[in-house]
Chain A
Amino acid sequence: MTFSNSSVEPDTLPAVEEARLTSVSPRLAPCVALQQMWRWLLLTTLALLFPVTNATLAVWQPWFAAGVGGLGAMMIVAGWLEAKRRAYGVREHDVIYHRGLLIHRTQVLPLVRLQHVETLSSPIERAFGLVRLACFTAGGRGADLLLEGLPARRAEAVKHYLLSRLDSDGDGQPPPSPPPSASG
């Protein structure tokens, strides 16, 4: 066997940065805010009602609870803004998910690595008509890529496309085209 090692021009490679991404559903922002709100409401209530025996600390308890509540309010706003910025893309050979407000993250999962696709939704997500799409690869202990904030019909379309890619890759058939509004 001969070993070849020819150079490839970086400019000729498909660029992740140039991929066209589609924003997730605008309903994700209120959905995330609501989920965060329940969480922080619980924490604030706990901070307020937790039995404190030390008299000095007990004086500060309402202020501490107010601080937790204030932090919660900030996190809810941040969650809202962050959810509005999320975007995804399905290219011929990979799935891209972009998220983050202060820290931007772009994850790319090649479809050749895909083993299994799942759709999930909590009661709150169902109330907003949203679905999560979990993509699993071999050996992973959890979802390797989680697309949040997809409308139910869009999630089904993407799921069917990914499953058809799994089948076609297994059969050695040429890949089908990505769903129109999700392609990059």
Chain B
Amino acid sequence: MKHQHASPSLEHWQRLSPWAVGLLLVTSAISIVRQHLPLVFGAGAGLVFIERIGLYEALLGGVSLLLAAILLSLQYYRRFRFRLDGDVLVIQKGLFEHREFKVAARHVQHIAIHQPVYMRLFGVVQWQVETLAGEASRIELPGISRDLAEALGQRLGSSAPRDPKASEWHESSAKGGQIRFTITPWALTLHGLTSRSIYVIAAMLSPLIRPVERWAHEHFPGSGAREWLIDSPFMTLGLTVVALVAILATLAVFASWWRFHGYELRDDGERHVQVSGLLQRQEQALSLRRLQVVEWAQTGLGRVLGRGYLVCRQFGAPGGGEAEEGRRFLVPGLTRAQGGDLIRTLWPGISMSNALSGVSVIYRRVLMLRISLALVAGLVGLSWLAGEGWPSPPAWGWGVLAVILLLVVWILAYLRWKALGWSREGRYMRVRQGLWGHRTSIFPLHNVISVSIQQSWLQRRRGLATLHLFLANGRLTLPFLDKRVAVELADRLLASVEAPLSVE
């Protein structure tokens, strides 16, 4: 078995794997291409650029850049070294400026191992560590052997006392532990459909709309199909929407399979470890001592299909989109029951049976007012932009439009107000937010960072207050609570933080 090999001596200086030079080039190239994809292909800028300078010159430039990149990678490899000094990881690196980083084991909150498909052949992985300072503190060893990565993870990932002579200490616990969750192909597919990937993919592909449109005009200039489409605008619109949704859904499912294929969540005692990925295997370890907030997220479609996912939040991970969550410790494709079971595992003692308390109905009216104002501002802006082209329907038409808009505003305000809820259960708190989809944050009271009570002029008149809870991953807001409730909750939360053992 691979893990029975003697682990490398981490106390001596270690270098990156020799393969790291080539892999660094590949990784950097993929990263640059991915980041600049819209710029290069979005409006055909890449082709125009090559046409302008000539193919031969472009190739020459490319080869020169490649040579420079190889030289720089070799220099980077030469300078990069690391070792463990007791429980402190020391890293020295830098091309033109020599830098030394030190990461103490007690400050580590997150360790991840990535292995893209081109690294598998060489048994090399990318190893990342993140401290309590969050993402900004992330340090990466861009190409080391898997044994070395696992040994480092074991040494830094646990603060449990251990025998200082035991350099092979990790072997006893590696790959051990209880399997908490494994994903099925059906759950993986449903996760693709019900996660927010579909919106992210739509945003990523939006720069391609114009080139595709141009291509369609050039290739179908006078065909019968085009004339038929022009004659049936509603059919065209319907078909376009269906085709777009089908393409996006397929891509979202593919993304889900790519990221979470073979997903396995393992309980390793002090930490939870997840392994997943179709071609790029990814292993993430979550230290339970560093866990701050668990979020149970369900999109609108996810609620209909009874599927959701868990996001485990630590310090310095502000809420973001799917791309942000892709790097977080995420448990995908869960049913409600599975999600509840996992939450109870992560937060022992919580039952999640308490009904959520809502906020004042005045919040719904405030929401209606805010949405109406935004809508009116939007319509005024549109009419100003359209100028003479703005349609002028009869008076009854405006009336119907106003009624429809009011109905939409009321539904939106009602859904957002209804979704908002909170509950305190022993030493835990749950806060739910959302519109069509819901996101419920569950955290121990003593994990709150700070608390803010806010009262507007209207709220003072009505005896209400807004409570802001600042957590390790961002802010949660409970608007328009009864002031007495808000103040009492703030006092209890502060007491839990300041004397965590006495207030439960």
Contacts and interface: CB of A to CB of B under 8 A. Distances in A.
Given A5-B349, A105-B452, A138-B315, A110 B504 contact: no
A105 B454 contact: yes
Given A5-B426, A15-B491, A102-B457, A141 B452 contact: no
Contacts of B316: 138-141
B497 A17 contact: no
A104 B498 CA distance: 24
A113 interface: yes
A8 interface: yes
A108 interface: yes
A56 to B, nearest CB: 14
A111 B449 CA distance: 10
A42 interface: no
Interface stretch (B7-15, B130-138, B379-387, B435-443): B130-138
Interface in A58-116: 93-94, 100, 102-113
Interface string B98-112: 000000000000000
19 contacts: A3-B349, A5-B349, A5-B504, A14-B491, A14-B495, A15-B491, A104-B454, A104-B455, A104-B460, A110-B497, A112-B497, A113-B449, A113-B450, A113-B497, A137-B449, A138-B315, A139-B315, A140-B449, A141-B136
A61 B333 CA distance: 58
B133 A139 contact: yes
B488 A10 contact: yes
A4 interface: yes
B470 A144 contact: yes
B28 interface: no
B318 interface: yes
A54 interface: no
B25 interface: no
Contacts of A14: 491, 494-495
Interface of A: 3-6, 8, 10, 13-17, 93-94, 100, 102-113, 137-141, 144-145
B294 to A, nearest CB: 16
B319 to A, nearest CB: 13
A4 B133 CA distance: 32
B183 interface: no
B202 interface: no
B90 interface: no
A112 B498 contact: yes
A8 B317 CA distance: 32
Contacts of A106: 452-454
B354 interface: no
Interface of B: 132-134, 136, 314-318, 348-349, 426-427, 449-457, 460, 470, 472, 487-488, 490-492, 494-495, 497-499, 502-504
Given A3-B348, A16-B453, A105-B452, 18 more contacts: A5-B427, A5-B504, A13-B488, A13-B491, A13-B495, A16-B491, A94-B498, A102-B456, A105-B453, A108-B452, A109-B449, A109-B450, A110-B494, A137-B449, A137-B450, A139-B316, A140-B449, A144-B470
B415 to A, nearest CB: 26
B450 A13 contact: no
Which of A8, A16, A105, A139 is most buried by chain B, counting CB atoms within 10 A of its CB? A139
Contacts of A100: 454
A8 B488 CA distance: 12
Contacts of B134: 139, 141
B487 A16 contact: yes
Nearest to A8: B503
A10 B492 CA distance: 7
Q: Which 9 A-B pairs have the closest CB atoms?
A: A139-B315, A139-B316, A93-B498, A107-B452, A109-B450, A5-B426, A139-B134, A13-B491, A110-B497
Contacts of B490: 16, 108
Contact of B472 (A3, A13, A109, A139): A139
Nearest to A113: B449
B132 to A, nearest CB: 4
Contacts of A112: 497-498
A137 B471 CA distance: 10
Contacts of B426: 5
Contacts of B454: 100, 103-106
A109 to B, nearest CB: 4
A94 B470 CA distance: 15
A110 B348 contact: no
Given A104-B454, A141-B136, A17 B348 contact: no
A94 B349 CA distance: 28
Nearest to B502: A8
Contacts of A93: 494, 498-499
A94 B498 CA distance: 8
A113 B494 CA distance: 11
A108 B492 contact: no
Given A108-B452, A139-B134, A17 B487 contact: yes
A172 to B, nearest CB: 15
B450 A107 contact: yes
B291 to A, nearest CB: 13
Contacts of A3: 348-349
